[in-house]
Amino acid sequence: MRLVLVGAGNLATHLGLALVRSGHEVVQVYSRTENSARTLAVRLNCPWTTDLQDVVCAGMYLIAVKDTALQDLASTLVHRYSDALFVHTAGSMPLQALSDAGARHCGVFYPMQTFSRARSVDFSTVPVFVEASSPDDEAILDTLARSVSKRVYRLSSEERRYLHLGAVFVCNFTNHCYARAARLLEKHGLPFDVMLPLIDETASKVHELTPAQAQTGPAVRYDTNVIGKHLELLADDVPVAELYRMMSEDIHRLAEKEQG
Amino acid sequence: MRLVLVGAGNLATHLGLALVRSGHEVVQVYSRTENSARTLAVRLNCPWTTDLQDVVCAGMYLIAVKDTALQDLASTLVHRYSDALFVHTAGSMPLQALSDAGARHCGVFYPMQTFSRARSVDFSTVPVFVEASSPDDEAILDTLARSVSKRVYRLSSEERRYLHLGAVFVCNFTNHCYARAARLLEKHGLPFDVMLPLIDETASKVHELTPAQAQTGPAVRYDTNVIGKHLELLADDVPVAELYRMMSEDIHRLAEKEQG
């Protein structure tokens, strides 16, 4: 099936590369941003455009753009290519966003991973969650997903909302904990890389133990002595101190619930 | 050197095992809790006691107990064995806690890792931070540390406070992000293990990129649309919604600082 990739950000880039490597035919890249469109098109060895009116006819439009841009883009394309399968890649958007845009055939292809431009990803290990407006369309997406990943699941829009929220916790919030530690260490002349064994072990532990079982440190036993000393160290950075306090309280709250 | 292990919790257990495997002579385990003392002593193949008065004479006392218990325990032992080297393992306590307890020879041996009973740890990869009251004592601790770990650093009490605070962020707070996601998914019938590739990649990324460079998701670009939808999903759990809001705001604040 001929695919058009709508969007050229991190997700579109990693997905496009995985599709081409698996032998799919990406016939065009569209992006508002010329530089992004060209860069990705060169990597995928296909034409590109920044003009929505120049988007070519294809069997599937894979739309990987900001949530706020999705519906307008989809409406315009659906209007011209009403028989095609329209697919978005957003964890937080329902399938209905595409049917509301007028698509008769639509689906979701959500690869749950954190994609950065500067880092390659083994797409075969990325869990992909698919959903579609009909069993036939779902079968098409399922086949597409299985061609790039070993971990393919069917999931409703309703359930995907919670999955995406969970992903924000384990990825974005976790990374922010790393970021706050990095700034703190930097400020005091300590190298961040001494943290890597602890970061790795914290991630590895939850392959074996539940996160509740894996928890250690001052907050879980609510050691007011240590917590108080840490809050003093953060006294010059009120929002971070407040974050520390809330995190510690919530760790303790959860520990009490799990025990009770 | 003959060592007495004071404490039989998770840290004492993993440290004791690493020491014995490296050929050190642990001559006794002390713990207030009979079951813990016996369990660890059996694993280390040495005697144990729950009575501080029965602690035997040794060259080094390695104290791995709660911060609040440290000084009292140390005082009692120092009083009887004033020539020995007294060493604590707490990231959050200064060396001075031991000199205040009367120790003439004292030091810190802080293995920065998260230790759980149910999970074995490759101690050779654990960063160990040492400090002592004299160069001779520091050399002893440095040698001991190098016999169990490939990553040994000398670090002052002052600097160790920030290291320990950073460890709480990258380990305990990170694990809590996993725990909150786990509860959320469980509540909606989704398996936590679909999160593991994302957890692993989030940890792996910061080996290559700084955490600030690695950040993705709705908070860094402050996507009020997605953030608003997530807060709605958390409406029945006010403290978690509040945590979500604070995290997102702090991610955005840090991103603006890094760019500015």
- Specify the pLDDT at position B1: 83
Segment B113-121 shows an average pLDDT of 92
The per-residue pLDDT of chain A, averaged, comes to: 96
Q: How many CB pairs under 8 A join A and B?
A: 331
CB of B72 less than 8 A from some CB of A: no
Segment B195-222 shows an average pLDDT of 96
Residues A4 and A22 sit within 8 Å (Cβ to Cβ): no
Q: What is the pLDDT of residues B4-19, one digit of tens each?
A: 999 999 999 999 999 9
Is the Cβ pair B169, A175 closer than 8 Å? no
Segment A75-100 shows an average pLDDT of 97
Segment A108-135 shows an average pLDDT of 96
Question: Model confidence at B118, in pLDDT bands (50, 70, 90)?
Answer: confident
Q: In what order do the strands lie in the sheet with A60-63?
A: A48-49, A25-30, A2-6, A60-63, A85-88, A105-111, A128-132, A152-154
Percent of chain B with pLDDT over 90: 95
CB of B210 less than 8 A from some CB of A: yes
Q: Which residues pair with A6 in a beta bridge?
A: A30, A63
Segment B14-25 shows an average pLDDT of 97
Interface test with B, best of A11, A169, A233 (most B CBs within 10 A): A169
Distance CA B198, CA A115 (A): 10
- Specify the pLDDT at position A260: 66
Segment B192-208 shows an average pLDDT of 98
- Specify the pLDDT at position A21: 96
CB of B185 less than 8 A from some CB of A: yes
- The amino acid that residue A210 corresponds to is T
Residue in A187, A202, A207 closest to B196 by CB: A207
Question: What is the reported pTM?
Answer: 0.95
CB of B162 less than 8 A from some CB of A: yes
**Residue closest to A128 by CA, chosen among A215, A56, A62, A42:** A62
B258 pLDDT exceeds 90? no
Is the Cβ pair A166, B176 closer than 8 Å? no
Percent of chain A with pLDDT over 90: 95
Which residues in chain B have Cβ-Cβ distances shorter than 8 Å to A171? 198-199, 201-202, 216-217
A36 pLDDT exceeds 70? yes
